[in-house]
Amino acid sequence: MNKRAMAEPRRQLPPQIKPVELAKRKNGRPVVRYQLTVDVGEIDGKRKQFRKRYPTEKAARAALDEIRGQVATGTYVHPSTRTVAQACEDWLAGKRAADRAESTVDGYAEKLSVVIAELGDREVQKLTKRHLDDLVIALRAGGLPSPTDKPRKPWSPRSVNYLLGLLVAMLESEQKQGHVVRNVAALVDRIDGDAKPPDPLSEAEVEKVLAHIEGDRYAIAWELALAGFRLAEISGLRWCDVDLKAKSVTVANTRLQRGKKLIEKTPKSRAGNRVLPLPDDLYAVFKATRKLQAADRLRLGAAYQASGYVVVNEAGEALTPNAVENRWARMLAAAGVRHVRLHDARHTCGTLMHLRGVPIALISAWLGHASKAFTMQTYVNPKPEALAIAAQSFTRVSREL
């Protein structure tokens, strides 16, 4: 019996694999490739087939077994030219369809815009951890172009980590839909670094600000900020929400700004929607502001725009949130007070209330927080002078012991 007769019979090719002759070599022997065609079921509502040529029968059989296993376990991902930009836009559309707050989705879109600008044309299936690592490095360094063509400022660790969280959520959705095999954003290391701590003004700085803004057209905005109101609450406050007879103000409307877009809505939480009594000083500023605006209206006549908002310019037009923040910075400079964010005026309110013995539960209610723990951890920030008082108290206690 010869060797050929003793050899095992050749296995028959499965119907999914067919040999294809492409050309002939110089010696006359054909170049053969093994074409694999597999029905992988419905993808995005359409029946799909996987088709690819392999150099050897063994490679084609291995691919067939692998694809069959993936289809059976629901882990198969069909090759696609779907881009990162398309994935981001579809994810944002899904959030809007789910009735997520407009301002929230706009915030997502603003953060993801840098991903679309830098990686948007890349196929999402070819997105790698290295691509995202390089993006993080570029964001931290600053200088990437922005939608306004101005170089982007370096991103803080908090902003970068927030963006990575959005990418994880977006790619998780892609993975569930069968568009990608793995979530590469989940592999990217987060950046160490705490969020910028609150930087409240001292009592002396507050007194300096109050002395400077007396008689200022926008004094009401700065008084509200130091009374713990958020920027959106200051910008969105309307005269219909102010009851001077009852000496109270209702926080029921907010105005946010995303680029040039203004978003008006109710406070995002039940605790944020609140009615607050007006302290005498704040009540007096409301009355002075109303008197000033009445004089503006009389002077301008038909040219005056009665917008109904509390914080307005000479013509009655409501100041945008960005305009309020910009004027706050200019006011501090004119008053000779160091620059802090307008939101730090809110921290100032919480801190001074705490130092004066106001219970945490009342501070939380005043600031519009549902969680007393959040108030304690985020907004109550002891200044050095308060710690000095605590140290003196400890010394006295030690001596008594």
Instruction: Output 7 or 214, whichever has higher pLDDT.
Output: 214
Residue 304 shares a structural domain with residue 383: yes
Name the pLDDT band for 183 (thresholds 50, 70, 90): very high
394 within some domain: no
In the listed set 134, 155, 187, which residue is the last one of a domain according to the structure?
187
Can you tell me the mean pLDDT for 158-181?
Answer: 93
Domain that holds residue 59: 14-73
58 within some domain: yes
Domain total of the chain: 3
Residue 123 shares a structural domain with residue 171: yes
Instruction: Output 12 or 319, whichever has higher pLDDT.
Output: 319
Q: Let me know if 121 is exposed, middle or buried by CB neighbors in 10 A (0-12, 13-18, 19+).
A: exposed
**In angstroms, rounded to a whole number, what is the distance separating the alpha carbons of residues 183 and 185?**
6
CA distances from 74 to 43, 69, 391 (A): 11, 9, 64
> Which of 151-160, 218-227, 244-253, 255-264 has the lowest average pLDDT?
255-264
Can you tell me the mean pLDDT for 98-116?
Answer: 91
pLDDT for residue 160 is more than 70: yes
Task: Please compute, for residue 27, the number of CA atoms within 13 A of its CA located in the half-sphere on the CB side.
Answer: 2
Name the pLDDT band for 141 (thresholds 50, 70, 90): very high
Name the pLDDT band for 334 (thresholds 50, 70, 90): very high
**In angstroms, rounded to a whole number, what is the distance separating the alpha carbons of residues 215 and 208?**
14
pLDDT for residue 177 is more than 90: no
Residue 256 shares a structural domain with residue 309: yes
What per-residue confidence (pLDDT) applies to 400?
A: 47
pLDDT for residue 397 is more than 50: no
> Which of 7-21, 182-196, 240-254 has the lowest average pLDDT?
7-21
The DSSP code for 378 is: I
Report whether 379 contacts 366 (CB < 8 A): no
Residue 289 shares a structural domain with residue 377: yes
| CATH code of the domain covering residue 268 | 1.10.443.10
CB atoms near residue 259 (< 10 Å): 12
Distant-in-sequence, close-in-space partners of 367: CB < 8 Å, separation ≥ 6: 228, 346, 349, 350, 375, 379
The closest alpha carbon to 88, from 121, 44, 133, belongs to: 121
What per-residue confidence (pLDDT) applies to 388?
A: 60
399 within some domain: no
> Which of 32-41, 130-139, 323-332, 336-345 has the lowest average pLDDT?
32-41
Report percent pLDDT > 90 for the chain.
53
DSSP E strands in 194-335: the ranges are: 242-243, 248-251, 254-258, 261-265, 274-277
137 within some domain: yes
What per-residue confidence (pLDDT) applies to 395?
A: 46
194 within some domain: no
30 within some domain: yes
Instruction: Output 53 or 240, whichever has higher pLDDT.
Output: 240
Residue 159 shares a structural domain with residue 114: yes
pLDDT for residue 180 is more than 70: yes
Can you tell me the mean pLDDT for 187-212?
Answer: 88
**In angstroms, rounded to a whole number, what is the distance separating the alpha carbons of residues 187 and 24?**
47
The closest alpha carbon to 182, from 94, 77, 84, belongs to: 77
What per-residue confidence (pLDDT) applies to 387?
A: 55
- In this predicted model, what pLDDT tens digit does every residue of 348-378 receive, in sequence order? 998 888 888 888 888 889 998 877 776 776 6
Residue 69 shares a structural domain with residue 101: no
| CATH code of the domain covering residue 145 | 1.10.150.130
79 within some domain: no
Residue 181 shares a structural domain with residue 218: no
In the listed set 131, 153, 187, which residue is the last one of a domain according to the structure?
187
Residue 227 shares a structural domain with residue 96: no
pLDDT for residue 300 is more than 60: yes
pLDDT for residue 386 is more than 80: no
Residue 104 shares a structural domain with residue 207: no
Residue 89 shares a structural domain with residue 68: no
**In angstroms, rounded to a whole number, what is the distance separating the alpha carbons of residues 250 and 274?**
6
> Which of 32-36, 126-130, 195-199, 252-256 has the lowest average pLDDT?
195-199
In the listed set 187, 213, 239, which residue is the last one of a domain according to the structure?
187
Name the pLDDT band for 398 (thresholds 50, 70, 90): very low
Can you tell me the mean pLDDT for 249-270?
Answer: 86
Residue 26 shares a structural domain with residue 48: yes
313 within some domain: yes
What's the mean per-residue pLDDT of the chain? Answer: 87
What per-residue confidence (pLDDT) applies to 381?
A: 54
Residue 56 shares a structural domain with residue 88: no
Can you tell me the mean pLDDT for 162-168?
Answer: 97
What per-residue confidence (pLDDT) applies to 190?
A: 93
